[in-house]
Amino acid sequence: MLDLRKVDQLIDLWLNEDVNYYDLTARIMVDDDAIAKFRMNAREPIILSGLKVSEMIFKKLDPECNFLTDKKDGDRVEEGETIAFISGNAQSLLTAERVALNLIQRMCGIAGLTAQYVEEVAGTGVTLLDSRKTTPGLRILEKYAVACGGGRSHRLGLDNGIMLKDNHIAVAGSIAAAVRRAKAGAPILTKIEIECDRLDQVKEALESGADVIMLDNMSNEDMVKAVALVGKRVPLECSGSVRLDTIRGKAETGVDYISVGRITQSATCVDIGIDSE
């Protein structure tokens, strides 16, 4: 779910960046009371994400504008299909157009790439997760787009869970010492995940009471051994070197989760246009 209060705050930042004091072109070329009607069209097959965000951007500048759609986020839309009809004050709609397009194009790109990864692991029982590899300032939207594509959020931020990585463990002295310290200070409902890149670390993490174990950049053969070693006592997450051409083999090792930074970090914006009716 999107926190619309936070989205509203972000829209002010985006519009301030793009518009600054006013839209010089729209002010000169368009009468103050002119009305415009536009269609938002898909120029390639897409999975929708960001419809509400786009509507909020237009309504920030023209609260009376009409944003009409029979679509919802997560829907598949074909090339040439109309996503929404937008009408209202011409100056306001023209000023908001680029910011609205930038956001929905980005979010749809992430949703579509996520869906490709989800399709690759279909039938394996694996849940696809995102990561914190997001665009600064856009995390809430990019993780929402992952959900629209069928993925799940790993954690929204550093305060959502404890992940003990190699440097945390090095500072603590050992996995066991790191877990003891984490358990002593963590809120009762907070899970503790341990990053492991060797099988002996997996054994130590399991014995130390980890809630989740991440298998970081392990070979498929070692992940199969880790799955057997853990025996479903705690969930296992695979991470590192995950691509569309490698994810199926990793999923078939028996892990529970696979986290993929590429779905937010490397997604390409889709082609969506706004055309006059």
> Which residues form the catalytic set?
98, 133, 165, 195, 216
Give the Cα-Cα-Cα angle 86, 88, 90 (nearest 5 degrees).
105
Whether the Cβ atoms of residue 103 and residue 232 lie closer than 8 Å to each other: no
DSSP codes of every residue in 204-272: HHHHHT-SEEEEES--HHHHHHHHHHHTTSS-EEEESS--TTTHHHHHTTT-SEEE-THHHHSPPPP-E
Whose structure tokens read 């997604």? 267
Whose structure tokens read 């130390």? 208
The secondary structure of residue 174, as a DSSP letter, is S
Reported in sequence order, the residue ranges of the chain that DSSP labels E, i.e. its strands, are: 35-42, 46-47, 66-68, 76-77, 82-89, 127-129, 162-164, 192-196, 212-216, 236-239, 257-259, 272-276
**Going by C-beta distance under 8 Å and a sequence separation of 6 or more, which residues neighbour residue 159?**
none
